[in-house]
Structure 1
Amino acid sequence: MSGSPALIAVVDDDEDVRVSLEALISSIGHDVVLFESADDLLGSPVLSHAACIVSDVQMPGTDGIQLAMRLSSRAGPPVILMTAYPTPALERSAYGAGVRRFLLKPFAPDNLIDEIEELLD
């Protein structure tokens, strides 16, 4: 684990996923704030303090790729995107939007932990 606890923002329209990710990320000592939508995150003061964003791709309103583009344009925190519906075009779009990691759901919990820790180091 990196030195001190970091603030990780989790964005997913599925409450079960949000709660599961909160438990996982909290278990390694980081602080977690949950958001039901990218628009909620973008309007929150948490955004200026987040060390990393973990977001679903497909959500109502602003999707994960649009979120990554907006954060990338203002030198925001690194973004890890997750999707259960991967396509090569979607992955290219994600990395083109500035996403740092692209995970396929379901993924092993250790994979997400490793990706977060690598981005925080």
Structure 2
Amino acid sequence: MEKEARILVVDDEDRIRRLVRLYLEKEDYEVEEAADGDEALTLALNQDYDVILLDLMMPGTDGIEVCQRLREKKSTPVIMLTAKGEEANRVQGFEVGTDDYIVKPFSPREVVLRVKALLRRSSQTRFLDTETAARNVIVFPHLTIDLDAHRVTADGKEVMLTPKEYELLYYLAKSPDKVFAREELLKEVWQYEFFGDLRTVDTHVKRLREKLSKVSANAAAMIVTVWGVGYKFEVNGS
């Protein structure tokens, strides 16, 4: 049996928080609320949540800053709630580590579906290769991906990745030297129909490289840009 997921809903509008909470609790999720960015950070850093629904525009500490500061400590999946005219802010959200976004006004049922999809992907990435049960660790020079532990190490040091960054790395790494177009990565890594643009892929690749490079320049160099096409995972040496 799957454990009950814990979800934090962050929005400065009481009406939105209560509506989203109502629909999520109907799915038997445990839901907590935060009315501003400071309260959200206190809760998110001191407790463990399976998903955080985070409003982008809030007075004081906004969603971008909350996500940025959260990512310094944790990889909790984040879905950003944004208004229609905030496309530039959404791109900025991806740059600081948002996993998905939902545009206001939204259907509460859409929120539930997005949360379910993100929870499903987060759990599935722990056991991605059920067909090759004897091979649950992928080892490259400078980089190891432990599928069962959902853990990435570069030159022996652990790299903290969000679920989406982990999925992107795994998707590239499971087919070394194969070139993937941005369109294919957007479709396959995000899985369900996703109304994003190709910059979503670019910002995630950028963040993934930055995190790897802090630990191992050699590991970061394995993610190669193929200009005009997309990206590939390149293994040099053995």
Is the pair's TM-score, using the shorter chain for normalization, greater than 0.5?
A: yes
Partners of 2:89 and 2:115 in 1: CA distance: 21
Partners of 1:80 and 1:103 in 2: CA distance: 7
* 1:50 equivalent in alignment to 2:49: yes
Conserved? CA contact 2:23–2:109, under 8 Å: no
Which residue matches 1:80? 79
Structure 1 residues 48-93: Cα deviation after superposition (integer angstroms, max 9, x where no partner): 2211100111111111111111122222311111122433311110
Structure 1 residues 16-73: Cα deviation after superposition (integer angstroms, max 9, x where no partner): 0111111011111100001101201212377522111001111111111111111222
Which residue matches 2:93? 94
TM-score, normalization: structure 1? 0.89
Conserved? CA contact 1:10–1:18, under 8 Å: yes
Which deviates more, 82-91 or 101-110?
82-91
**Structure whose alpha-carbon radius of gyration is higher:** 2
Which deviates more, 86-95 or 29-38?
86-95
Conserved? CA contact 2:44–2:70, under 8 Å: no
Aligned length: 120
Which deviates more, 14-23 or 78-87?
78-87
Equivalent residues in 2 for 1:1-121, closer than 5 Å: 3-44=2-43, 47-121=46-120
Which runs of no fewer than 5 residues in structure 1 stay unpaired? none
Using the aligned pairs only, state the percent identity. 28
Partners of 1:117 and 1:86 in 2: CA distance: 26
Q: CA deviation at 1:115?
A: 1.3
After the TM superposition, list the runs of 4 or more consecutive aligned residues in structure 1 that deviate by more than 6 angstroms: none
Amino acid aligned to 1:25: L
Conserved? CA contact 1:9–1:35, under 8 Å: yes
Partners of 2:82 and 2:22 in 1: CA distance: 19
Which deviates more, 43-52 or 92-101?
43-52
TM-score, normalization: structure 2? 0.47
Question: In structure 1, the residue corresponding to 2:9 is in which secondary structure?
Answer: strand
Question: In structure 2, the residue corresponding to 1:43 is in which secondary structure?
Answer: helix
